[in-house]
Structure 1
Amino acid sequence: MIFDVEVKITLKDGMLNPEASTIERSLALLGYSVNNTKTSDTIKFSMDEEDREKVRSEVEDMCERLLCNPVIHNYKITVIPQETSCGCSK
C-alpha cells in the first residue's frame, strides 16, 4: 500500500529563529506590525509499506537520524493512505 507522508519541522520554543526575526523586521519596514512569527519546513514524500504504523515508525527514525535535529526541533508526522482505486468501471 502506498502512503503519502508529510513531516512538518519547527524550532522548539526558546530557540533563536533568525529567519522569523528577519521577516518581522521586514514587515515592520513595510508598515505591518506582527509578533511571535514562527517558521517551519515541510517535507512531503510517498512510501510503499504494509501498514500505517510501519510507515510512522520509519519516518520517526528518519526524523531522528537525518531530517531534523531533535535537540532544537519539533516535528509532526502525518501519514495518509493513497486512494488505490481509479474510480473507473471495467
Structure 2
Amino acid sequence: MKIRVDVKLKNGVLDPQGRAVAHALHTLGFDEVADVRIGKAIELEVNETDKEKAKARAVEMAQKLLANLVIESYTVEVLG
C-alpha cells in the first residue's frame, strides 16, 4: 500500500529556502507570487492491507522520524 506523508514548516517559522524561491520567481517576472513555502513529500510503500492500520503506522513514523514536530507539521494520505 502506498502512503504519502507531506511535511512542511509550521506557520511563523522562517523559511529561507521559500524566500529564495519567491525572490527568484519575482526576478523571472512572476510578480503575482506572494509567498512560497517549501516542504517535502515522502512516499512510503508498506506491507499492510488495512488502510487504517497503514495510516496509523505512517503517523507513528512521521512523529518519530519524518517530521521535526517542534517546527514542522505533517499530513498523511493513503494512496492505495
- Above 0.5 in TM-score? yes
Q: Which runs of 5+ in 1 are unaligned?
A: 82-90
Structure 2 residue 10 is matched with structure 1 residue 16: no
Among all aligned residue pairs of Structure 1 and Structure 2, give the percentage whose two residues are the same amino acid.
Answer: 29
Give the drift of 1:25.
Answer: 1.1
Aligned to 2:69: 70
Aligned partners of 1:19 and 1:66: how far apart in 2? Answer: 22
- In structure 2, stretches of 5+ residues that fail to align are none
Instruction: Give the drift of 1:77.
Output: 0.6
For 2:73, the aligned partner's letter is N
Distance 1:36 1:29 in 2: 14
**2:67 and 2:49 mapped to 1: Cα distance?**
25
Pairs within 5 Å for 1:22-33: 22-33=20-31
CA distance in 1, matches of 2:29, 2:52: 47
* Post-superposition CA distance 1:33-80 (Å, at most 9, x none): 121212221111211124111111111111111101011111111113
| 1:5 aligned onto 2:3 | yes
Q: Which has the larger radius of gyration?
A: 1
